[in-house]
Amino acid sequence: MSLEIKNLKLWKVFNSRLEPTVAASINGNTSKAPSGASTGSHEAEAFVPESLRKLEKELKEKFEGKKLKQEEFDKELERFDGTKKFSKIGSASIALSQAFKKAEGFKKSNVFPYPVSNIVGGGEHGGKTSIQEFLVIPTNAERFPEAVETNASIYREFKERYSSKMMGKNDEGALVTRMDDEEVIKKLNKVAKEHNAKIGLDIAANELWDGQKYEYKSLNMDIKPKDQLKFVKKLVEEYDLFYVEDPFHEDDFRSFQLLRRETDCLVVGDDLFVTDKARLSRGIENGSGNSIIIKPNQAGTVSKTKQTFDKAEKNGFKPIISHRSGETCDPFISYLALGWGAPMLKVGIADIRIAKLNPLIKEWKKLEEEGKNPRMAEL
């Protein structure tokens, strides 16, 4: 069904790092574009165009009064920009595409994603550890509110139990500690097990890779590619990791393949795939991993994001919808995850990250009250 675009607006706002970003409104439905600190070189560009007022005028002339479907609107945005990575209109692309989706409406579903929460942080997101994110996944939770409470309890308990080693929080609301990487993994795993949850890592290996080796400054280690595989495999086996994201740099499809063959955990590509259908197709063909991070702003439009999401599902890759480090309070990806039936939603647990979780708690309660039997997705 087509949507008539009656009103289109663009303006500058700020994200959680107080960096400028773009907000867009279509027919009164507003969405805001996030940005990442740890980014892949193949993803769509995220920036505020030099003259938003001029861009808004051009887009109003192009779109207002037209009736379009999401795919048609997004394709017209691509044509208007004229580059492969939205190098002309930057963050305006995803802000507008998401605003169109909000105006069009989300599909209703009673299948909820498991929240993946960043408890301890480091790397490019700020912190002592070289590994970027130490995650928990409440794999045994039977209700979404229970799943969020489990992750919140782990966050609070870890913070209190090791309070003498805390140094504050990073820009994702994750805890920053004086512990090294392996000490964090060991202690977080202990707390998570007490709550019947699993742990995972976002190694963000792109940020450790210097072109020849991986540099773990926090551990005083330089690791060659073949030894990186051994190191990651050791962590998976020793700590029973459920999830490992970006264990190798963005073009090392072969190592992703080997880790997938040699372990039973989720081997997740973020910088490897950057929500790009063509790169995912290569990963599927090579058996490089078994899961993909889905970030709409990496693709630049909702339609391109959906194409990659569907490709993953069809080929047995788990699609995990994710926030960015430079977030806003826009809950768009939460409703997207619910509408598309994503098995997991990676959105942190503290500070403004809760803005992504509270709306889904409300949706779960609403469905329960209506007798529609909400349930958790299959992992």
Residue 318 CB partners (closer than 8 Å, separation 6+) = 266, 290, 291, 292, 312, 343, 344, 379
Question: For residues 140 and 364, what is the distance between their CA atoms, to the nearest angstrom?
Answer: 17
Asked whether the domain spanning 111-376 has the same topology as the one spanning 3-104, the reply is no
Known catalytic residue at 172? yes
Q: Mean pLDDT throughout 169-197?
A: 95
**Rounded (5°) CA angle 358-362-368:** 145
How does pLDDT run across 52-69, given as a tens digit for each residue?
999 999 999 999 999 999
The values of phi and psi at residue 167, to 5°, are: -125, 10
What is the model's pLDDT at position 239? 96
- The one catalytic residue in 295, 306, 311, 356 is 295
Do residues 113 and 323 touch, judged by C-beta distance below 8 A?
Answer: no
pLDDT at 124: 78
**Catalytic-labelled residue, pool 43, 78, 104, 172:** 172
Instruction: Please check the confidence at residue 150 and state whether its pLDDT lies above 80.
Output: yes
- pLDDT recorded at residue 42: 86
Residue 235 confidence (pLDDT):
97
User: Does residue 38 surpass a pLDDT of 80?
Assistant: no
Q: For the ranges 21-30, 170-179, 287-296, which has the lowest average pLDDT?
A: 170-179
Contact at 8 Å (CB) between 147 and 115? yes
Across the range 2-10, mean pLDDT stands at 97
Number of other residues whose CB lies within 10 A of the CB of residue 83: 12
Helices 70-81 and 92-104 meet at what angle, rounded to 10?
Answer: 170
| Residue 162 predicted with pLDDT over 80 | yes
User: What confidence score (pLDDT) does residue 40 get?
Assistant: 77
- Can you give the pLDDT at residue 123? 83
Instruction: Flag whether pLDDT at 8 surpasses 90.
Output: yes
pLDDT above 80 for 266: yes
Amino acid identity, position 300 = G
Q: Is 346 helix (H, G, I), strand (E, B) or coil?
A: strand
CA distance 33 to 98: 9
Tens digit of pLDDT for each residue in 271-298? 999 999 999 999 999 999 999 999 999 9
CATH of range 3-104; options 3.40.50.300, 3.30.390.10, 3.10.560.10, 3.30.360.10: 3.30.390.10
DSSP string, 278-324: HHHHHHHHHT--SEEEE-HHHHSSHHHHHHHHHHHHHTTPEEEEE--
Q: What is the pLDDT of residue 37?
A: 77
Q: According to the model, what pLDDT value does residue 181 have?
A: 95
- pLDDT above 90 coverage of the chain, percent: 93
295 a catalytic residue: yes
Question: In the chain, what are the domain boundaries?
Answer: 3-104, 111-376
Reply yes or no on whether the pLDDT at 5 is more than 90. yes
Q: How confident is the model at residue 39 (pLDDT cuts 50, 70, 90)?
A: confident
Model confidence band, residue 105 (pLDDT cutoffs 50, 70, 90): very high
CA 67 from chain centre, in angstroms, equals 31
**Position 259 pLDDT exceeds 90:** yes
CATH 3.20.20.120 fits 111-376, yes or no: yes
pLDDT over 80 (residue 127): no
Q: Is the pLDDT of residue 125 over 80?
A: no
**pLDDT for res 296:** 97
Q: Looking at residue 86, what DSSP letter applies?
A: -
Give the confidence band of 171 by pLDDT, cuts at 50, 70, 90.
confident
pLDDT top residue among 218 and 265: 265
- Give me the mean pLDDT over the 242-256 stretch: 97
d(CA 269, CA 275): 9
Mean pLDDT over each residue of the chain, to the nearest integer:
96
**pTM strictly above 0.75:** yes
Q: Give pLDDT, residue 41.
A: 82
Torsion of CA 274, 276, 282, 287, to 10 degrees: 60
For the segment 341-354, what is each residue's pLDDT rounded down to a tens digit?
A: 999 999 999 999 99
**Mean pLDDT across 173-192:** 96
Residue that wins the pLDDT comparison between 187 and 170: 187
Strand order in the sheet with 20-26: 8-14, 20-26, 29-32
